């Protein structure tokens, strides 16, 4: 009987350690903020970390935002809704199967994400990036840079940038990547600019660019089996 009790205690202790280990793998952050300005720095190192999720996105409402989010690990999630006038942000992902959904617009606020500077860097494969920044009538200066590091495969990028004089830079290095780019708005006197560089095979690229002034696409691709569709309208 003593031997049996001892084995039970050992087994329960082992299960307790496993429970602690499983729990320590996930860090969850949910941000709900309103006010004039926000300076937010987040670093998460591990697996299954979240800054908001598909059912409860983090949200900030105000005038000016400066955000730096760094996630290291696999299967991490960023779901963030920004409602404000000025947004400056850096998102850095290192790992595989990460999911980022970033929206910046007016929402119920009078501000409209009019001035945007965003930099997103991905190192890893099978990542899903969805950004929707600005509004057609109000965003006056959008500059977005998306970089996927060397040998990153099977990533999905969907980038929608609205407003006037938007500049979008995308650099992708890897195989079997898929991305959709949509730049709308009147373009102001400078028009919209897309600078896109891709190295790798089996790429599926769809680009839609519209505006009443001069628009420019600078596309460089190197690799086999690329399928590229471009639509430009006034």
Whole-model pTM over 0.75:
yes
Residue-by-residue pLDDT tens, the chain, 234 positions: 545 444 444 333 333 333 333 444 678 999 999 888 899 999 999 888 899 988 889 998 888 889 999 999 899 899 999 887 788 899 999 989 889 999 887 655 545 677 788 899 988 888 899 998 876 545 566 788 999 876 778 889 999 887 777 888 999 888 888 989 988 766 555 678 899 998 888 889 999 988 767 788 999 998 888 899 999 887
What per-residue confidence (pLDDT) applies to 210? 81
What per-residue confidence (pLDDT) applies to 27? 85
What per-residue confidence (pLDDT) applies to 7? 40
Q: Is 156 exposed, middle or buried (0-12, 13-18, 19+ CB in 10 A)?
A: middle
177: Cα within 13 Å, side-chain hemisphere = 33
What per-residue confidence (pLDDT) applies to 19? 39
What per-residue confidence (pLDDT) applies to 8? 40
Enter the tokens of residue 155.
């990533």
What per-residue confidence (pLDDT) applies to 167? 85
What per-residue confidence (pLDDT) applies to 22? 40
């Amino acid at each position: 009987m003593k031997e049996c009790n001892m084995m039970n205690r050992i087994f329960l202790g082992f299960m307790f350690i496993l429970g602690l280990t499983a729990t320590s793998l996930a860090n969850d952050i949910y941000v709900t903020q309103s006010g004039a300005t926000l300076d937010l720095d987040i670093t998460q190192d591990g697996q299954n970390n979240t800054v908001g999720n598909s059912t409860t996105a983090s949200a900030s409402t105000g005038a000016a935002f400066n955000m730096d989010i760094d996630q290291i690990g696999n299967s991490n999630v960023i779901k963030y809704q920004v409602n404000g006038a000025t947004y400056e942000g850096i998102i850095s992902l290192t790992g595989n199967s990460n999911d980022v959904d970033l929206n910046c617009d007016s929402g119920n606020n009078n501000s409209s994400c009019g001035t945007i500077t965003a930099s997103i860097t991905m190192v890893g494969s099978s990542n899903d990036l969805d950004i929707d920044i600005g509004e057609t009538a109000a965003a006056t200066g959008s500059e977005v840079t998306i970089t996927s590091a060397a040998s990153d495969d099977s990533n999905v990028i969907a980038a929608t940038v609205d407003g006037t004089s938007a500049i979008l830079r995308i650099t992708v290095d890897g195989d079997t990547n898929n991305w959709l780019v949509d730049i709308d708005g009147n373009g102001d006197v400078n028009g919209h600019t897309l600078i896109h560089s891709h190295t790798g095979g089996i790429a599926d690229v769809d680009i839609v660019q519209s505006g009443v002034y001069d628009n420019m696409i600078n596309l460089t691709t190197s690799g086999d089996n690329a399928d590229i569709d471009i639509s430009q309208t006034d």
